[in-house]
């Protein structure tokens, strides 16, 4: 039986960001995806110019009511990403709670898009909504280090700090937490980035166990837009296939990311020419061209289990 995903994310006409970064790879892997756009822009905001619209909470409610009236609101997953409006985010929470009442096994995957590198790139008033309303109903979250620190109020300076932050996030609600990037030093050298993951399980006897992993991935000297959306979608897919094996799910997810990014940066450098930095249009993710890697990624990034 196929799995159905409700994806509520941004949409751009040009390039792969938000729903386009999530829907295509999920569909390639056999998921049926219904998409609602939180914003609809001509292109992502990394370009010099952009135009478009922001969906309101009322408009989201109308779309969801239309789905309900046709009795096709039976989902296995909800996936959310970038939004800029508090009332819209609160409406998302209401929808998730209603869908969970209808299907207690529904999994909500949330990329809590707040900011990075010490600064927020969404309005400040979204922070308490994420902390107090969104994260408590999420099952899987994919913050970066800045977002994880912001949500927990604890700084990450060591791997031990990161484990404690992930435990704090577990205590807020989610059973699976992946810190997608951090400033922690890599054991492989300064050309690698450290990510960490943690997954709680309930044993048949009711006791809990936690698997924690560390993943070290090569850094790429370029700015990509849409990778967070792709990451959350791939983590959804691979935790679906490996629900009790975070190590394998992360290896598959990060390997997909590696293949897509390497294909993109190679293409971008070819277009830019020798000695020139690629432009935002040249760095649009090569998603369709990576279809085979999305379906069956060669594992290039191995995760280490943290004792």
Looking at 94-108, 143-157, 160-174, 198-212, which range is the least confident one? 198-212
35: helix, strand or coil: strand
**What b/e string do you get for 257-280 counting C-beta neighbours within 10 Å, with b at 16 or more?**
bbbbbbbbbebbbeeeeeeeebeb
CB 174 within 8 A of CB 197: no
Helix (H) or strand (E) holding 59: helix 57-69
* Residue positions annotated with a catalytic role: 229
Residue 207 has pLDDT above 90, yes or no: no
Q: Report, as an integer, the average pLDDT of 82-87.
A: 90
Residues 264, 154: Cα–Cα separation, whole Å: 35
Structure confidence by residue, pLDDT tens digits, 222-231: 889 999 999 9
Residue 197 exposure: Cα atoms within 13 Å on the Cβ side = 28
Q: How many Å apart are CA 304 and CA 135, to the nearest integer? A: 26
Confidence check: pLDDT of 84 > 90: no
Contact present, 195 and 301 (Cβ < 8 Å)? no
- Cα 21 to Cα 149: distance, rounded to the nearest angstrom: 26
130 within 8 A of 142, measured Cβ to Cβ: no
Mean pLDDT of the chain: 95
DSSP alpha helix (H) spans, 178-302: 227-241, 246-272, 291-295
Backbone angles phi, psi at 51, to 5 degrees: -135, 155
Q: CA 111, CA 229: separation in Å to the nearest integer?
A: 8
SS3 306: strand
Token pair listed for 238: 């691979």
Mean pLDDT within 193-212: 91
pLDDT > 70: what percent of the chain?
100
Phi, psi of 96 (to 5 degrees): -60, -45
pLDDT reported for residue 45: 84
Task: Identify the bridge partners of residue 283 per DSSP, sorted by sequence position.
Answer: none
Query: Helices 86-102 and 57-69, interaxial angle, to 10°?
Result: 20
Span 57-70, mean pLDDT? 96
pLDDT of residue 77: 98
Q: Which pair of tokens denotes residue 100? A: 């969970």
User: What is the β-pairing status of strands 107-110 and 140-141?
Assistant: parallel
Can you list the domains of the chain with their CATH numbers? 4-306 (3.40.1190.20)
Q: What is the mean pLDDT of residues 73-81?
A: 96
- The mean per-residue pLDDT over the stretch 75-95 comes to 95
- Per the CB < 8 A criterion, the answer to whether 193 and 217 are in contact is yes
Q: What is the pLDDT of residue 192?
A: 96
User: pLDDT tens across 236-280, in order?
Assistant: 999 999 999 999 999 999 999 999 999 999 999 999 999 999 999
1 confidence band (pLDDT: 50, 70, 90): low
Is the four-CA dihedral 240, 303, 167, 208 of positive or negative sign?
A: positive
Whether the predicted pLDDT of 44 surpasses 90: no
Are the C-beta atoms of 243 and 203 separated by less than 8 Å?
Answer: no
The pLDDT of residue 223: 87
What is the structure's pLDDT at 221? 87
Q: What is the pLDDT of residue 65?
A: 96
Q: Vertex 55, ends 95 and 67: CA angle to 5°? A: 40
**What is the Cα–Cα distance from 167 to 252, expressed in whole angstroms?**
23
Q: Residue 94's pLDDT is what? A: 97
Residue range 118-137: average pLDDT?
A: 94
Say what the pLDDT of residue 121 is: 86
């Amino acid at each position: 039986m196929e799995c159905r995903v409700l994806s509520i994310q941004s949409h751009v006409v040009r390039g792969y960001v938000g729903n386009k970064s999530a829907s295509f790879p999920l569909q390639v892997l056999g998921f049926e995806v219904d998409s609602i756009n939180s914003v609809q822009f001509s292109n992502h905001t990394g370009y010099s110019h952009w135009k478009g619209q922001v969906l309101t909470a009322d408009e989201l409610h109308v779309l969801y009511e239309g789905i309900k009236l046709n009795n096709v609101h039976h989902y296995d997953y909800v996936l959310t990403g970038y939004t800029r409006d508090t009332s819209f985010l609160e409406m998302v929470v209401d929808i998730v709670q209603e869908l969970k009442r209808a299907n207690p096994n529904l999994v909500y995957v949330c990329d809590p898009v707040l900011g990075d590198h010490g600064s927020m790139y969404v309005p400040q008033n979204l922070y308490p909504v994420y902390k107090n309303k969104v994260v408590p109903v999420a099952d899987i979250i994919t913050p970066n280090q800045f977002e994880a620190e912001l949500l927990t109020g604890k700084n990450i300076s060591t791997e031990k700090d990161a484990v404690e932050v992930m435990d704090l996030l577990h205590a807020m609600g989610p059973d699976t937490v992946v810190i997608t990037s951090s400033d922690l030093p890599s054991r492989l050298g300064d050309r690698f980035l450290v990510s960490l993951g943690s997954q709680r399980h309930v044993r048949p006897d009711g006791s809990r166990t936690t698997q924690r992993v560390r993943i070290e991935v090569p850094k790429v000297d370029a700015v990509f837009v849409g990778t967070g959306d792709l990451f959350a979608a791939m983590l959804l897919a691979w935790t679906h296939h490996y629900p009790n094996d975070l190590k394998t799910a992360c290896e598959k997810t990060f390997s997909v990311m590696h293949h897509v990014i390497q294909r993109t940066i190679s293409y971008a450098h070819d277009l830019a020419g020798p000695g020139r930095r690629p432009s935002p249009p040249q760095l649009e993710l090569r998603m369709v061209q990576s279809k085979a890697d999305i379906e069956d990624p060669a594992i290039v990034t191995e995760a280490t289990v943290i004792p």
